[in-house]
Structure 1
Amino acid sequence: MRSFIFFTILLFCCQTKLRAESFDVTVAVAANFAEPLKILINDFERVHPKIKVNMVIGSSGKLFAQIQQNAPFDLFLSADQSKPLALIASGHAIKDSLHTYAQGTLVLWSYSETPLNNESLKTFKGKLAIANPKIAPYGEASMEVIHHYENPNIQIIQANNVLGVLQYVKSQSVEMGLVALSSLSQFPLTSLNIWHVDSALYSPILQDMVILNDNPHTRIFWIFLQSEQAKIVKHQFGYKDSQ
């Protein structure tokens, strides 16, 4: 029995060590930026083959809570500005690493063949999926848009993040969803029934990143995310440069 316990502990320690050696940088990323980050990681690792980057995807709010509980992340890419600032204030992040890496775009999306436009939310009767506004900045922006139209016939269905909204619309559990334009990258944009929500209807979605564990490898990746090469990828996913 003792031998079995010892072997189990040894195996766990070895697996933990292997996992630790598999990645030099662990990035906590808001769900809306997951797809462009995958491409950016591949581009980065081709240039820096000795630096491996792992990513953990979630809503900004949930990742923020995990970081406050000392989750082993090196870099945090939030979908807003307030959470990185709060982490700096609490001593969980490095002050000089705060940087706005992207500005998001909110779109209305539907599988319906009826073209979407400025009147769609004004006259809509049915289920509309949004990210949870308590933990997801795109959800906050969505609520601003919904409040503008003051349409009592909209039934709001909440998902944990924008990827959850995608699932609701894809499964046709809801008629429409408010999502990040970047999250629709898996579909040919020319074939999508979307409406770019008037940016005047919601606060700018400025997305900040901040270093949590300051080491040379993290710094190198942080710098890469600000490069012209990275900007090209961001633009391809519908992100704007920060103002």
Structure 2
Amino acid sequence: MKHWILWVWLLLGTAWAQSDTIRVVAAADLQFALSEIARDFVRQNPDVRVSISFGSSGKMYTQLQQGLPADLFFSADEVFPNLLERTGLTTPGTVRMYAVGRMVIWVSHRLVQQGLDPRQLGLRILLDPRVTKMAIANPVHAPYGRAGVTLLERYGLLRQTRLAKWEEMTAGIPAYYDIAPLRRGKPSFEFVYGENIAQAAQLALTSTNIGLIALSIAKSETMERAGVFWLAPLESHLRLNQTYVMMRGQDRPAVRRFYDYIGTSAAHQVLRRYGFLLPGEKLD
């Protein structure tokens, strides 16, 4: 499959020439929640604009290392912001966790109508002979892809056969894991990769009818209208401690205001609505 990259770019605010623009790069699982948070912020701060680019955390980490201009980086994990901090590319002391991400297996109504309902079957749905392909974010650079792999491992659907770092797994999951349980009784089984978790969701929606995606995307209006999901237990996969950081030399008043706004009750309310856990928050 040909890999492709999609960046969703949003510009929120008015009065371009008279505004301080905050440049944000963010993990794709935030495309709905962070856009809403930024709109609320701009309404309260009309002298500020917020531009947001969404993509995979790993790709953005690499581009930030290469000089991509940005004020704030929101990752889907804690690894990439910490690496940037270690290399001196961030404002000291600004790495902060904003949420814990959740994973789901999302299934279209087309499959549910055939008796494949993830709410009853959970990951056992992947053993059904009618499930021959599944969308997943590329684990080479997408934290949700990495979490998806560990989730399948936890339930015995993958077994690692070749040691490699995530960023080295460029040959595809079957080159590093035995996927026999997913192939058993089927003509074939294929992982269909999105370059970020939003693309994986789009592939599930338009092509595979099933995918391992972020709860924050599964709760969007489009995905809820088209299918249903099973929420994976928090402890069943790589923990997605999602953090953000201010880039080096960008501690301007407007940037600091938005940085601090992420920790307010208003921003927390939006994050909760899209299924994120807040730092220190426990499951009911």
Q: What is the TM-score when the length of structure 2 is the normalising length?
A: 0.74
CA displacement at 1:169 relative to structure 2 = 1.4
Contact 1:25/1:217 (8 A) holds in 2: yes
Could you tell me the percent identity over the aligned residues?
Answer: 29
CA 1:190–1:198 in structure 2 vs 1: closer, same or farther (change >3 Å)? farther
What SS class does the counterpart of residue 97 from structure 1 fall into? coil
1:179 to 206, 213, 227: 213
CA displacement at 1:122 relative to structure 2 = 4.4
Query: Hey, what does 1:14 align to over in structure 2?
Result: none
CA 1:180–1:100 in structure 2 vs 1: closer, same or farther (change >3 Å)? same
Query: Hey, what does 2:266 align to over in structure 1?
Result: 229
Q: Which amino acid aligns with 1:88?
A: E
Query: Hey, what does 1:91 align to over in structure 2?
Result: 88
* Stretches of structure 2 lacking an aligned partner (at least 5 in a row): 1-14, 158-180, 184-188
**In angstroms, what is the RMSD of aligned CA positions?**
2.0
Separation in 2, partners of 1:231, 1:83:
22
Larger radius of gyration: 1
Superposed structure 1 runs of 4+ greater than 4 Å apart: 18-23
What SS class does the counterpart of residue 164 from structure 1 fall into? helix
Separation in 2, partners of 1:132, 1:193:
22
Separation in 2, partners of 1:106, 1:122:
19
Query: Hey, what does 1:103 align to over in structure 2?
Result: 100
1:120 to 109, 125, 131: 125
Alpha-carbon deviations, 1:72-129, whole Å to 9, x = none?
A: 1000000010100010111111221111001111000111112113322344641011
Separation in 2, partners of 1:134, 1:181:
20
CA displacement at 1:41 relative to structure 2 = 0.9
- Structure 1 or 2: larger helix share? 1
Moved more, 72-81 or 91-100: 91-100
What SS class does the counterpart of residue 152 from structure 1 fall into? helix
Alpha-carbon deviations, 1:39-87, whole Å to 9, x = none?
A: 1111001111001110111100111011001111000000010100010
CA 1:21–1:177 in structure 2 vs 1: closer, same or farther (change >3 Å)? farther
How does 1:1-243 map onto structure 2 within 5 Å?
A: 24-111=21-108, 112-113=111-112, 114-116=116-118, 117-118=121-122, 119-123=124-128, 125-148=131-154, 149-150=156-157, 151-153=181-183, 154-171=189-206, 173-184=207-218, 185-187=220-222, 189=224, 192-212=227-247, 213-243=250-280
Q: Which amino acid aligns with 2:145?
A: G
Number of residue pairs matched by the alignment: 225
Q: What is the TM-score when the length of structure 1 is the normalising length?
A: 0.86
